[in-house]
Structure 1
Amino acid sequence: MSTSHSGDRDRDEAGRARNARPRDGLGRPLPYGSPGVERQPEGVVRTPARTVDEAQALLDAGRPFHAHEVFEDAWKAGPDSERALWRALAQTAVGLTHAARGNARGGARLLRRGADGLAAWTGEAPGELDTEGIVRWARALAARVDQGAPVSAAASAPRLRSAL
């Protein structure tokens, strides 16, 4: 999806507001014309397994903001019965993003909110997600962030599937 910059707001082809500024690996906007990382396309419908694969690759690359966009697509396009799960995963990815940017308070809050949402999940997780492992990871990272530990997005990335 391309965007144009003119006037007060950037717009996509449909006329919807969409920021066209390039972004860094943690999703922070850069000045127009700066080199940035490739953005995730919006509105992609993926299978649960593909969602998990793509999000894991982005997390491993230290790009949790972009992983959040993949989870957001699943949240918005998936079945109603799975929306809370994908929303919780998006929240954990945004929590990691904020923690890696140095926003400890916001990062810890979103990590816990996502963990709580995942802990409430009672169904079988799609895409072979290890929801219990992700809950443990998010709560442990939130505790580290509360203690002032610096966070590297790639080094702190969760494992979305169990190692078994």
Structure 2
Amino acid sequence: MPDRDRDEEGRARNARPRDALGRPLPRGAEGEDRAPEGVVRAPAVALAEAQRLLDAGRPFHAHEVLEDAWKSAPEQERELWRGLAQLAVGLTHAARGNARGATTLLERGAGSIAAYAGAPPHGIDVAGLVGWAKDLAAAPGAGADPAAAAPRLRG
């Protein structure tokens, strides 16, 4: 069995190209540009980049940006960023036709961000996102076109 792909620090990383929904493609295939991992962005930059990717129908890639924000966020905001990443993964599952996975992640993400609705940081439309997630979880087929189904992260 060949060695696993690893980054400069020795962590396992899958270097296979991926499609717009993050599915691995055969080695040597033409894939989508991936968001670089481990980038610390200011919250406004992370939200703008994630929104751009969502609007382009690339929720898996938006999830990677939001996951970086989650990992670098101050402790009191980590659950918010984790929830946003889960919403992007939920939309990814909906676009891939995985209704069960979509529902699970959308409900989990909505639950993670709901506590921030009273005083949402960074202009994030928490109430709108919770409503969007519940609607899509109830009818995940509506996420078949992820660009059309993309939520607005900020109000």
Shorter-chain TM-score: what band?
Answer: over 0.9
When you count strand as a share of all residues, which structure comes out higher?
1
In 2, the alpha carbon distance for the partners of 1:115 and 1:122 equals 11
1:22 to 8, 12, 17: 17
Match of 1:135 in 2: 130
Structure 2 residue matching 1:155: 3-state secondary structure: helix
1:116 to 108, 111, 117: 111
Gaps spanning 5+ residues in structure 2: where?
none
2:3 to 8, 13, 26: 8
Match of 2:151 in 1: 158
Q: Does the 8 Å contact 1:49/1:126 carry over to 2?
A: no
Structure 1 residue matching 2:6: 3-state secondary structure: strand
Gaps spanning 5+ residues in structure 1: where?
1-5
Sequence identity of aligned pairs in percent? 66
Q: Tell whether 2:56 aligns with 1:56.
A: no
TM-score (norm 1): 0.89
Q: Which 4+ runs in 1 deviate beyond 6 A? A: none
TM-score (norm 2): 0.94
In 2, the alpha carbon distance for the partners of 1:41 and 1:87 equals 18
In 2, the alpha carbon distance for the partners of 1:153 and 1:15 equals 34
Q: How many residues align?
A: 155
Alignment of 1:27-42 (within 5 A): 27-42=22-37
Match of 1:126 in 2: 121
Alignment of 1:41-80 (within 5 A): 41-80=36-75
In angstroms, what is the RMSD of aligned CA positions? 1.5
When you count helix as a share of all residues, which structure comes out higher?
2
Equivalent residue letter for 1:130: D
Q: Tell whether 2:91 aligns with 1:96.
A: yes
Equivalent residue letter for 1:29: P
